[in-house]
Structure 1
């Protein structure tokens, strides 16, 4: 019997349906009543064992950084614990046999395995290396903006399709040297994996990306170049990373390494266009941009929830007892609007972090803080700077209330952002 089988929850009524329409449509508002409760609530996802749902900033910092919690279910002492991430992907349509790429990935490893894998790639995403990429990011952004008017129909263009999406995927494909002829296929599969689709469509996309990642490893093994994968295949590295770990790393870098930035660029543009006072401040003061990106990640960041953590011993989170093996799901979007952590949290204030340290959890916290956070921030800053400079009269063509958002409960994102240049 696993730890999850021991009995009832501490909440009244049915567990929270984490795929409920209101939570997907506006997680910032919909999770607020949950956050105000005295204890965590139980949450459910179809095909996945129940989890505690953490919504408070302090609680989430705890489960993300305290040694009493692990991201790897296999490291919990005692009886086997259900791997919620694996269950989620299986429920969505992941083909049998691909579970090993979840287990081998940097996101689902912990302890020495996590430090070993992360240590091999950290340098590629350091602030210095990312700053060196800025001229190339700017060049890609400028090329996309040059083409933007040509994509307009009746004066309207979709910024997601023609700017926010191609910029980060191009950067990450160049970083791992995906052959240019293959990049459209990588873009399509990555978009499928993050769109919220299920069944064979998702299973085939994941299988295809794994196959492409294996082919990419083989290609770089025979034709090494000046790229991250060739570096990891070099003699001083290759014996420290298995093929499965390398394939999992590539898949994670391509999917997670760009989708957050795609959605952050789109969400940020929509937020700025609907907050003209903040947009005016940003136009007047270019030095505000790093702080603006930070605040936009807090205010309208696309990451709704992080990977679940598992208690390695009987403990408490806030006022809620959590038993060994139980899973806690961090709701990042709720934490980032927590009034206990932020003054007037529902207000967009681009200067909020000028005089204080970064405290939002949009990129996570602790040992598993997003490896590509610096890259995502740099790409978003470049994208917004270039877009607002090139098109000073940029405006939405649709009432913000009518903008269509995706159905993936993990990522709060726009399906399209129609604007007039």
Structure 2
């Protein structure tokens, strides 16, 4: 098989043709060399290889942890090339998603104690109340018979939920939503947006930390500020800032696009929409299928091989940078029969997750249970409140060119 010649993944060309790129990599055997903003890397779309890259401890998040060094650009170096200022890079590269080994275990252990399944389940009434309020307000946002569901429902719901959980006050939630959107835009022509977003998040986080140290607020940030392990270990100021940034951005941006992408998928597949309307018990399976079929993440962060390895679809050398393409694995025909077909019953009655939309292994998404909960409440309540919901044919949704995040610029619907 010939090796495909791929465009730089950090270019608009790549962002606009990602499905074709993934299929060309699959057709060539499942992996292929690529570049990301000048950084040499290798893409993997095979489900087995993606799971190995995400779950094997020999693949590291931090290039500096590769024994003997690596010629691959680190994440910090890549962000520097993108125009981020050094003091902002700290908050983008020293969080839980950037750590390996004992450092990662330490941060995850401290946070997991505060981010429990019990806490998530206790949030269901609040998630439902926020959802009901937003849906009641939707008709008031309609113009010429249609409303932007992303702007007035898909984004406000998760930002309200995660900010309630973390402890971000009402006055700060609009800015956090805007900062998160800028941070995940990957607009290489606007480093000012990225720097401004990180600066705003860092300054807001410092104020939040100070307020929570002064008095308890009864939220997750209280736990993060005060929690310690058996040895008295606590999160440092920078670790708290990056943790807040990670939780708020990851906790609303991806869920918002799950809701947006999933609603678009349902409204363009009337047979599946009718199936879900006729059987609300199908919601858990439906959310899993929407995560697989049109999930909010195309790819994971770059990882670095700590030693030479042979994967199913290609060899990886020590120090080499690799990217696990989640969207590729979730459409692997050897794992998912007829993967291009949306089938809301695909996961019904099956334990665990057949997809890798939340990652796999040590870095599996801490907020997965919350995202699933929000998805079930959002889709179920939206279709119940507006049974005649339909896309506005006069304002078709346009997918945003983005190599990492799967999302629309807007999503205009008619409420019926």
Q: What TM-score does the superposition give when structure 2 sets the normalisation length?
A: 0.93
1:59 equivalenced with 2:68 (yes/no): no
Residue 252 of structure 2 corresponds to: 258
Deviations 1:63-91 (A, max 9, x none): 11123211222211102554543234323
Q: Distance in 2 between matches of 1:293 and 1:65?
A: 23
1:302-317 → structure 2 map (5 Å cutoff): 302-317=296-311
Gaps of 5+ in 2: none
> Could you tell me how far 1:205 is from its partner in structure 2?
1.4
> Could you tell me how far 1:160 is from its partner in structure 2?
0.2
1:7-86 → structure 2 map (5 Å cutoff): 12=3, 14-19=5-10, 21=12, 23-25=14-16, 27-38=18-29, 40-46=31-37, 48-80=38-70, 82-86=72-76
Residue 146 of structure 1 corresponds to: 136
Residue 351 of structure 1 corresponds to: 345
Counterpart of 1:204 (choices 193, 196, 200) is 196
Residue 105 of structure 1 corresponds to: 95
Contact residue 88 and residue 195 of structure 2 kept, 8 A: no
Q: Distance in 2 between matches of 1:252 and 1:373?
A: 14
Residue 224 of structure 1 corresponds to: 216
Residue 188 of structure 1 corresponds to: 178
- List, as ranges, runs of 4+ consecutive aligned residues in structure 1 with deviation greater than 6 Å: none
Deviates more, 1:84-93 or 1:72-81: 84-93
Deviates more, 1:131-140 or 1:185-194: 185-194
Q: Distance in 1 between matches of 2:414 and 2:376?
A: 21
Distance 1:124 1:384, change over 3 A: farther
Counterpart of 2:390 (choices 386, 389, 395) is 395
Counterpart of 1:93 (choices 66, 83, 94) is 83
Contact residue 313 and residue 323 of structure 1 kept, 8 A: yes
> Could you tell me how far 1:189 is from its partner in structure 2?
1.3
> Could you tell me how far 1:319 is from its partner in structure 2?
3.8
Q: Distance in 1 between matches of 2:235 and 2:385?
A: 44
When the two chains are superposed, the root-mean-square deviation of aligned CA atoms in Å is 2.0
> Could you tell me how far 1:373 is from its partner in structure 2?
0.7
Gaps of 5+ in 1: 1-9
Distance 1:279 1:80, change over 3 A: same
Counterpart of 1:325 (choices 319, 325, 332) is 319
Deviations 1:248-307 (A, max 9, x none): 100111111211100000000000001111111111111110000000000000100001
Other structure's SS at 1:97 match: helix
Contact residue 126 and residue 374 of structure 1 kept, 8 A: no
Q: Distance in 2 between matches of 1:200 and 1:100?
A: 16
Q: What TM-score does the superposition give when structure 1 sets the normalisation length?
A: 0.92
